[in-house]
Structure 1
Amino acid sequence: MAGKELTNIKVYHKKGHINIGIIIFGVIFVYLFVTVLMYLTNKHITAYEVREGSILKDNSYTGFILREEEVIKAESGGYINFFATEGSKVGAKSRIYSLSDKKLDFNSDNSETQELTAEEQASMLVRTQAFCEDFDDQKFSDVYSMKDTITDVLDGKSSQSRKIQLDAMASEGQNGLQVFNASGDGIIAYSTDGYENITLSDLTEDILNKKGYESSSVKDNTQVKKGDAIYKLIQDNKWNIVILLSDESAKDMSEMTSVKVRFSKDNETAVAGFSVQKINGMNVGVLSFSNSMVRYVQERYLDLELILQDVSGLKIPKSAVTEKDFYLVPQDYLTQGGNSNNTGVLIDNGDKNAEFQSVEVYYRDEENGTVYLDPNDFKKNTSLRKPDSTETYPLEKTMSLKGVYNINKGYAVFKQIHILCESDEYYIVEAGSNYGLANYDHIALVGKDVHENDVVY
């Protein structure tokens, strides 16, 4: 059959091609799905960053000041002006005050004597800068302390100017001006209140509670009468503050012989001798000082805080603390073995050669010569063999340790803590322990919900 072509056509089946992109996408999708599912169904661990801190325990009181004071009375009448600045130390025969039959005329425009020196201006600038940098809204009383400081400096300059002019008047022998000297050495104060001669045995509850308290002071260029109290001399730097105590506080403080004190007026601190006494049916605390009296020469009552506890360390929330049981093992059962320098123990399996097992020591009690090992690392009824000995030790005795779960590595690891003190919400724990916490560690905020080796999401 001419002209007719025969075509032999063969049909081949196409080979299936694997799409790598779809497989990879599927794996990622499954991974993300499982991860999200685990995140939604698993218990979440909230982290807390450990930071250094302190807990301060104090009690606030208003104290009554007792000191050796001598009230000086005017020797005659007239208008009084003082040579000495309040709070300054004067010696016997020093000029203290003058009396005149009329008011003295002081030149208040004397700028040469009233201006602050360069050193005084620099000092005030430093104090003001420090106040601004350290200001705390919770301690607004510091504003008044700063105000008093500035006022004292300016008043001091004004008094200095008046003193210079008063010295000049006295030296020139101004008519009608009488000058009186100090009767002895001491610190001068211009306020009197009638309590100058009171003693510890004279105290009453009304006095300690400041009931009906009044004080008076004499100002420059005011008229006084003969016999009026015009100033007092404090002749000893030793002084006492007496505070009223409840029965419970008196019992708690009965063994104390010293205490740290913070004065609210200027936020200064000092260490005082301390004793609890029973006076006229009252429990009182007597604080004894041998310095710093001049800072409070104008005061009869002082607001203060007794700092009963001031402890620094690592601050952690109480919710993070939990307890865990450990095997208590003599530390001479520890050894090093295997193919490394890992610390471990020898498991007694009844054979001549014991089996080495690496362990983690959670705490070492050097005083009792014991270490704490995790029971989860051992099978039940396990006994240990002492290195280079046939002695064995059955793992039976357990002891609880207080601690937290460290989650720095993404899983929970128990860390023992040593509590130094506590407040309502926090503990201060010891820092620097080989088995404890360090600054900036991350721990589980709620310790009771965590177990060893839990993975942190």
Structure 2
Amino acid sequence: MAGKNTRNNIIKMKKRQNPWTGIMLILFSVYIIVLFVQSLNQDNISIYEVTQNKLADDDTIRGVILRDEHLIKAKSSGYINYYVGEGARIGVNTTIYSVDRTGGFNDSLDKEGADNYSLSDEDTKTIRADIAEYRASFNFSDYSGITNFRYNLDNSLLKMTTNGLLKRAKRILKNDSSSSLKMIKSGKTGIISFCSDGLEKLDIDSINQKTFSDTTDKWKQLRQKKEISKGDTAYKLITSDNWSIVIPLTKKQYKKLYDKDSIDVVIKKDNNKFTPSVTTFTEKSKYYAKLEFTKDMINYIDNRYLDIQLEFNEAAGLKIPVSSIIKKKFYMVPEEYITNGGDDGSTGVMLKTYDKHGNQHNTFKKAKVYYKDEKNRCYIDARLFSVGDIIVADVSANGSELSLTRTARLDGVYYCNNGYCTFKRIDITYSNSEYAIVPEDTIYGLQIYDHIILNPNLVKEDEII
């Protein structure tokens, strides 16, 4: 019974809650959230690895081709047969085509029979190249592409069978003196073409803004007709290997080309590189340039418009982002004022100082040489000195004095291979809006694979990162 009474006398006490514990937890949570939000808004330091590369300031522009082109008209009507192929170089009195007034010549050709002819390995390669080029550019919506492919294939076969076809024609003429066939020969030398786009008379004086309103080739095939009328265009003759490309320019491009006599260009069609002479001109406040070529015209005989890459500037070396470049202020000091001192033999200068009693002392001041120019002037950090500080030369320079007043600013980057930021001077060879090229293996300069700060506005020199 006694044990039972004891248990009934136990009084349970209520635990008192401490409100400060909850408040502290809430404040700590808020602090963590604030830190997290700040980290999201804070810019992060980025590091860039220096690479070796080439930088070019290139512009690609579509230009129009000018050539010495002449449309040759037919002097009589009838059924026509050609004996030369596209791009053939012909001389005076070369037989170009024949005209048959009655059409009997084609019947005679069928009766005559074809000469035995077998394709050579080179002929086979040519045909396969035509087919491969067509397959690579095939488009279901471009019916003219099919027509052009057939034309090019016929042209390749015509080149291969020209001699045989001409021999057969001569045999018919020999056996039938009353034949209505008339052989037409060339009166000039040149390169023959069977394409016309109506721009054969285009010259430098007729170039204007409308010339470039539609820059797609619009060729008309002249050799597709079986019959020709007197006065129709029979073929086109190009009488010079000299040719040119006229390109429209922006005002900025015009200024770049204005003082140049020549420029490196790449024709994008085949990546062929040229260095043509260049002439700039204006027409109704529009800017243009004429690029003049002296070779390889035949490669572009089936083009009126070409994409041209202008290589304004090109430089090779170490490639760095423009955003990493900063300017630093220095005092320029003649080399004889630079000395070594301190416990570690560091580079520096002897600074003229005075104690509280007015006694003069020469105190060694550690100062790194960041750059030495061609006049043997050493550049030391301007942050370490005040304007007018006096430094003393070593004994070999007779202890002469120099007041620090002359300053200069050098381009550089923050180098961070060692875990902290160090200024390194750079000599910019070439730059555009994004990147710059600097020389490799220069004294005080950068090396390939060095690490630099991409956004130097976020750090300070000598800061550990």
TM-score by length of 1: 0.72
More moved, 444-453 vs 248-257: 248-257
Match of 2:197 among 193, 198, 201: 193
Q: Map Cα deviations across residues 118-148 of structure 1 (whole Å, 9 max, x no partner).
A: 9x59x97xxx9xx9xxxxxxxxxx9659x99
**Residue correspondences, number:** 396
1:423 and 1:67 map into 2 onto residues whose CA distance is 36
**1:415 aligned onto 2:428:** no
Q: 1:326 touches 1:400 (CA, 8 Å); kept in 2?
A: yes
Change (3 A) 1:247 1:449: closer
The residue that corresponds to 1:26 in the other structure is none
Q: Map Cα deviations across residues 84-143 of structure 1 (whole Å, 9 max, x no partner).
A: 33223222222322334255669999882165479x59x97xxx9xx9xxxxxxxxxx96
Change (3 A) 1:247 1:373: closer
Structure 2 unaligned regions, length at least 5: 1-38, 139-144
Report deviation, 1:395: 3.3
Q: Which amino acid aligns with 2:69?
A: E
1:160 and 1:437 map into 2 onto residues whose CA distance is 60
Q: Secondary structure at the match of 2:200?
A: coil
Q: Which amino acid aligns with 1:269?
A: K
Q: 2:243 touches 2:297 (CA, 8 Å); kept in 1?
A: yes
The residue that corresponds to 1:37 in the other structure is none
Q: 1:81 touches 1:220 (CA, 8 Å); kept in 2?
A: no
Query: Identity over the aligned pairs, expressed in percent?
Result: 30
2:322 and 2:83 map into 1 onto residues whose CA distance is 61
Change (3 A) 1:317 1:428: same
Report deviation, 1:444: 1.6
Q: Map Cα deviations across residues 335-391 of structure 1 (whole Å, 9 max, x no partner).
A: 56789997554444579995666653212221x542211245668975322232221
Change (3 A) 1:185 1:412: same
**1:216 aligned onto 2:223:** no
1:240 and 1:455 map into 2 onto residues whose CA distance is 59
Root-mean-square deviation (Å): 4.2
Q: Which amino acid aligns with 1:384?
A: I
More moved, 84-93 vs 238-247: 238-247
2:116 and 2:345 map into 1 onto residues whose CA distance is 85
Change (3 A) 1:173 1:280: farther
Change (3 A) 1:416 1:261: same
2:62 and 2:193 map into 1 onto residues whose CA distance is 21
More moved, 242-251 vs 432-441: 242-251
Q: 1:116 touches 1:157 (CA, 8 Å); kept in 2?
A: no
Q: 1:192 touches 1:229 (CA, 8 Å); kept in 2?
A: no
2:287 and 2:464 map into 1 onto residues whose CA distance is 57
Structure 1 unaligned regions, length at least 5: 1-39, 132-141
Change (3 A) 1:197 1:204: same
Q: 2:86 touches 2:155 (CA, 8 Å); kept in 1?
A: no
The residue that corresponds to 2:32 in the other structure is none
Q: 1:54 touches 1:310 (CA, 8 Å); kept in 2?
A: yes
Q: Secondary structure at the match of 1:173?
A: helix
Report matched runs for 1:292-303 at 5 Å.
Answer: 292-303=296-307
Q: Map Cα deviations across residues 250-282 of structure 1 (whole Å, 9 max, x no partner).
A: 455433332232223223232222222234665
Q: Map Cα deviations across residues 299-323 of structure 1 (whole Å, 9 max, x no partner).
A: 2222323332333332222332222
Change (3 A) 1:115 1:79: farther
The residue that corresponds to 2:159 in the other structure is 160
Q: Secondary structure at the match of 2:447?
A: coil
1:217 and 1:152 map into 2 onto residues whose CA distance is 8
2:345 and 2:163 map into 1 onto residues whose CA distance is 83
Q: Secondary structure at the match of 1:207?
A: helix
Q: 1:406 touches 1:444 (CA, 8 Å); kept in 2?
A: yes
The residue that corresponds to 1:453 in the other structure is 462
TM-score by length of 2: 0.70
More moved, 324-333 vs 371-380: 371-380
**1:269 aligned onto 2:273:** yes
Q: Secondary structure at the match of 1:219?
A: helix
